[in-house]
Amino acid sequence: MENKKGNITIYDVAREAGVSMATVSRVVNGNPNVKPATRKKVLDVIQQLGYRPNAVARGLASKKTTTVGVVIPDISNPFNAELTRGIEDIATMYHYNIILCNSDLKPLRELQLIETLLEKQVDGLLFLGSAITEEHRSIFNATPVPVVLAATHDEKNEIPYVNVDNIEAAKTATSVLISEGHKRIGFIGIQLTNSIQGYPRYLGYKKALEQHQLPFDETLIEIGNGRYQSGYEAMKKLLEKDPSISAVFAATDEMAVGAIHAIQDFGRSVPDDVSVMGCNNIPIASQVRPLLSTVSVPLYDIGAVAMRLLTKYMNNEEVETDQVILQFDLELRDSTRIKEWHEGAF
């Protein structure tokens, strides 16, 4: 019955059930063109033999692997974990498996991973990371395997993507702070070379300032790597440079929480002395005191929609738009003083 090796194949089942391989294949694949009696007999033999279809052989013969590759910077970052969760759920729903690969945002490694995934004959590819380069684009364009970018974009609009408008998100966040009456608003950003949470959010911050005729001051800017500790350090520097700073917008929640703690450790209170806005709305935003006001980016949805879009491409379904921009939301909690805000309300 169960054998430690020498796997039993579709051929064994066929022989044992007294039918052809084709019939067994039909039964296994739920093809309706099988007489119920035959089906039952085959099913019994399968059960009895403990037959398990070989997906690799199937993949070779059918040219489909029901597997999608996902390239992701770092799974231990809650931002990506949330995205992945959305991807996973939809993938499961559509019966796809996922090969997950960490790129650490290293361009060379990204390219290698994409190669490997393509070698593995994935039916589709989801790419999360920074904006894609010419090299990515040339691989993506050369392969028949559909690709969707999640929480990333393609400047040339050649590759489909799902994202939010990061400039607008940052602009809104900053505007909230401005509407509280702050004049000197700090910004804790991510390297401007990062074209997702980096540059666009910097730009949004700047735009908000401009729109409200506030001067842009380099000394109010600090750059971190998106994680907690860097936010803490950045805020410390800001506080040292200008102890009178009364508001700060951090490009990520983790950095915002770091900033909150830096402010508190500095002997100041949030939001009484300093207001703090984050961005993304990952779990930690509501696991801190005071609760972090932040821009709610639909991470889960970005992942889910990207995966859904990919399934459409994989099935050659009609697709309206290749570029999907999801709406973000404002989550005003306790690290800012304002509790309501409308575009152009002040």
62 binds, among DNA, a copy of itself, none (CB under 5 to 8 A by kind): DNA
- State the DSSP code for 326: E
Q: Of 18, 50, 181, 243, which one interacts with DNA (CB under 7 A)?
A: 18
- The answer to whether the CB of 310 falls within 8 A of the CB of 148 is yes
If one counts every other C-beta atom within 10 angstroms of the C-beta of residue 182, the result is 21
Among 15, 38, 77, 191, binds DNA (CB under 7 A): 38
Give the residue among 146, 143, 123 at the shortest CA–CA distance from 65. 123
What single DSSP character describes residue 96? Answer: -
Q: Does 215 bind DNA (CB under 7 A)?
A: no
**Of residues 48-77, which lie at the interface with DNA (CB under 7 A)?**
51, 53-54, 57-58, 60-64
Alpha carbons 306 and 85: distance in angstroms, whole number: 12
CA-CA-CA-CA torsion sign (257, 263, 269, 273): negative
For residue 307, report the phi and psi dihedrals to the nearest 5 degrees: -65, -40
Q: Is 3 exposed, middle or buried, given 0-12, 13-18 or 19+ CB atoms closer than 10 A?
A: exposed
- Residue 76 interacting partner from DNA, a copy of itself, none (CB closer than 5 to 8 Å by kind): a copy of itself
Point out which residues bind a copy of itself (CB under 8 A): 2, 4-5, 50, 52-57, 59-60, 65, 67, 74-76, 78, 81-82, 84-85, 88-89, 92, 97-102, 115-116, 118-121, 142-144, 228, 254, 257-258, 261, 264-265, 283-284, 287-289
Shortest distance (Å) from residue 12 CB to a copy of itself = 16
23 binds, among DNA, a copy of itself, none (CB under 5 to 8 A by kind): DNA
Q: Which does 309 bind (CB under 5 to 8 A by kind): DNA, a copy of itself, none?
A: none
